[in-house]
């Protein structure tokens, strides 16, 4: 087993363990964590920290087909189906954007395609994320959510 396979398996194991929490439970956790901060500079720092903690995306997945259209920054999103659960990995060339995709992955990765399709990602509005992003970043956030839902729809059928 090479290092990338080890990291993939390690990532999948942590996703499987997390999968025991519902998407809504994970959203509620994020809302609680963000509510600890009143200053948006602290919340931006939390996003940057989340991005820095994101497992590195294997270079082989940094392809045009994995780039999310509609993002100001370059954001790559890879999705695999393991035992009926979607496992997402991602990277971005911008710190806050990387934190945003890390936050989305934390919530949806390790769940079934149907769970992802059935869930409203209400945490985005509750933490005030969209209203504190520039219009182009806000559009990028919507593009990230759309791509996650597209993966779920495509892999639900397979």
Catalytically active residues are 71
Residue with tokens 């990338």: 4
> Do 61 and 89 meet the contact criterion of CB atoms below 8 Å apart?
yes
Beta bridge partners of 80: 87
Which pair of tokens denotes residue 34?
């963000």
């Amino acid at each position: 087993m090479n290092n990338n396979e080890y990291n993939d398996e390690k990532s999948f194991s942590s996703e499987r363990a997390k999968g025991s929490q519902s998407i809504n439970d994970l959203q509620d956790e994020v809302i609680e964590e963000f509510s600890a901060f009143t200053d948006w500079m602290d919340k931006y720092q939390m996003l940057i920290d989340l991005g820095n903690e994101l497992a590195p995306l294997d270079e082989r997945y940094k392809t045009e087909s994995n780039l999310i259209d509609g993002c100001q920054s370059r954001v790559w999103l890879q999705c695999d189906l393991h035992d009926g659960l979607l496992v997402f990995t991602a990277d971005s060339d911008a710190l806050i954007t990387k934190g945003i995709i890390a936050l989305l992955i934390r919530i949806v990765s390790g769940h079934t395609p149907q769970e992802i399709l059935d869930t409203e990602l209400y945490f985005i509005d509750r933490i005030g994320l969209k209203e504190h992003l520039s219009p182009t970043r806000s559009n990028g956030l919507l593009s990230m959510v759309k791509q996650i839902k597209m993966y779920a729809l495509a892999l639900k059928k397979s």
